[in-house]
Structure 1
Amino acid sequence: MAEFIEITDGAPIGQRGPAEHERRAQILKAADEHFRHYGYSKTSVAALGRAIGVSAAYIYRFFDSKQAIGEAVVAQVLSEMDAGLHEIAVGPELATARLRRLLLTMMQCSCDRFLKDQKVHEIVVVAMENNWCATVDHQHAVENAIRRVIIDGRESGEFERKSPLDEICSAIVAASLCFSHPKLLESESNEELERRLTIVTSLVLRSLAP
């Protein structure tokens, strides 16, 4: 696996050159299309170069490996979900309602993005199994959203305040993994997943009651 390098213009690890560049956008668009059509494992950097009329060497001016391109594509997919979860976390509803909606939205978004498109499913599984930065950042975003709701619930008196906050957040993240990890979503129908999530969420909320 290529050794990633840090750069100083604000781009993620493994990416080079200016963060805003027409060619970078073209590479990512071609990568997204190729990954969805052929799959991540069957897409080469050379193929992406041919798709936009440049050499593989030129693409390496922006990304130091195929993994870095994959990371950027996965980050785009997951960042949309993260933005939606953050919006729920800071919303005006009671914390109890926000936590229910947060976990349900996470499951629904995961099913929509990972299961309906098997090629997207493949690259996200690769990213999660190899702890790509994009998936680590996604997990942090999920935990931060949950943490915001728990803190608000404690301040409003909806949730108890004795249990360590870190333990509560880690436990909820672990419980939600069954309803958001692409490999774990495959074995159940959406209806069964939603039924089980309702049970788990109710159990979590009872444990948080003051």
Structure 2
Amino acid sequence: MDRSIRTGKESDDVRARILATAEGLFRRVGHHRTSVADIAAELGMSPANIYRFFPSRVAIEESICGHLLNEIIEVASSIARTDMRAAEKLAQLLTTVHHHTTTMLIEAKPMHDLIVIAIQENWPVVQTHVRQILVILEAIIREGVEAGEFDVQDATQAAQQVRFAFMFFFYPAVVELHAGRETDIQASMIAQISFILKALGDAGEVMRGGYGQV
């Protein structure tokens, strides 16, 4: 039933319901096939009420994409807070992000497609995500330098180079191109992480210890 929208907690609840309903439709039929009218119909409200909270369908898509990307940040942050050596943290973070991307491609292709579009069009949520990943990478690298594990002069620049060096395994569209070659990709990923750790000054024991395994 359509009704007026209040402010405060009720508004937050309605926003959350709109996003949850939209995400459900996105997962079933894809974001391109989901209109604001479809979302409104699922909720039993008019499209006008949807527009009170989101100016466009793209705004809804960006909010959902931001939520998906935040899941990666939460996992990466959790790894960064562990008591492992910095090299171990970095290896686990890189493999975990790749695994997350691969899992989404297999289990939630419509959401994978949404993130691909967001990256291609450089949505603000993607820019925020990249900054957050860089902050986490930089913190781990600084920790490694302070512990004598890594030998780099500029942790900020090193974080950027690590991200670029691992882009093949981070970028969802590239991961999709190589779907079905898991064994080859796994071997290439382990080799690339070993290369990154050696470039940072680590002797490579981390990868020999199996931390490159997903």
- Please indicate the TM-score interval, normalised by the length of the shorter structure: 0.7 to 0.9
Task: Tell me if 1:42 matches 2:53.
Answer: no
Task: Tell me if 1:192 matches 2:192.
Answer: no
Query: How far has the Cα of 1:167 moved from its partner?
Result: 2.0
Task: Tell me if 1:168 matches 2:158.
Answer: yes
Matched residues in 2 for 1:207 and 1:98: separation? 16
Residue in structure 1 matched with residue 168 of structure 2 by the alignment = 178
Query: How far has the Cα of 1:69 moved from its partner?
Result: 0.4
CA contact 1:115–1:182 (8 Å) conserved in 2? no
Matched residues in 1 for 2:200 and 2:44: separation? 57
What secondary structure is seen at the aligned counterpart in 1 of 2:53? coil
What secondary structure is seen at the aligned counterpart in 1 of 2:151? coil
Query: How far has the Cα of 1:88 moved from its partner?
Result: 0.7
* Pair 1:18–1:202, CA change in 2 (3 A): farther
CA contact 1:27–1:48 (8 Å) conserved in 2? yes
Count of matched residue pairs: 193
Return 5+ residue gaps in structure 1 as ranges: 1-16
Q: Following superposition of structure 1 onto structure 2, how do residues 5-154 of structure 1 map, counting pairs within 5 Å? A: 21-154=12-145
Matched residues in 1 for 2:138 and 2:64: separation? 27
* Aligned residue identity for 1:143: L
Q: Whose helix proportion is higher, 1 or 2?
A: 2
Task: Tell me if 1:159 matches 2:150.
Answer: yes
Identity rate of aligned residues, in percent?
27
Matched residues in 2 for 1:149 and 1:193: separation? 25
* Aligned residue identity for 2:167: L
Return 5+ residue gaps in structure 2 as ranges: 1-6, 203-214
Query: How far has the Cα of 1:68 moved from its partner?
Result: 0.7
Query: How far has the Cα of 1:114 moved from its partner?
Result: 3.2
Query: How far has the Cα of 1:187 moved from its partner?
Result: 2.5
Matched residues in 1 for 2:169 and 2:145: separation? 25
Residue in structure 1 matched with residue 208 of structure 2 by the alignment = none
Q: Deviations over 1:55-108 (max 9, x none)?
A: 111001111111110011111111111101011112110011111101000100
Query: How far has the Cα of 1:18 moved from its partner?
Result: 5.2
Query: How far has the Cα of 1:129 moved from its partner?
Result: 0.9
Residue in structure 2 matched with residue 8 of structure 1 by the alignment = none
* Aligned residue identity for 2:166: S
Q: Deviations over 1:166-191 (max 9, x none)?
A: 22111111122211211100132233
Matched residues in 1 for 2:130 and 2:185: separation? 20
Q: Deviations over 1:99-132 (max 9, x none)?
A: 1101000100111123432211211111111111
Task: Tell me if 1:208 matches 2:200.
Answer: yes
Runs of 4+ in 1 over 3 A off after TM superposition: 17-20
* Aligned residue identity for 2:188: R
* Aligned residue identity for 2:155: L
How large is the RMSD of aligned CA atoms in angstroms? Answer: 1.6
Matched residues in 1 for 2:186 and 2:131: separation? 23
Residue in structure 1 matched with residue 205 of structure 2 by the alignment = none
- More off after superposition, 67-76 vs 134-143: 134-143
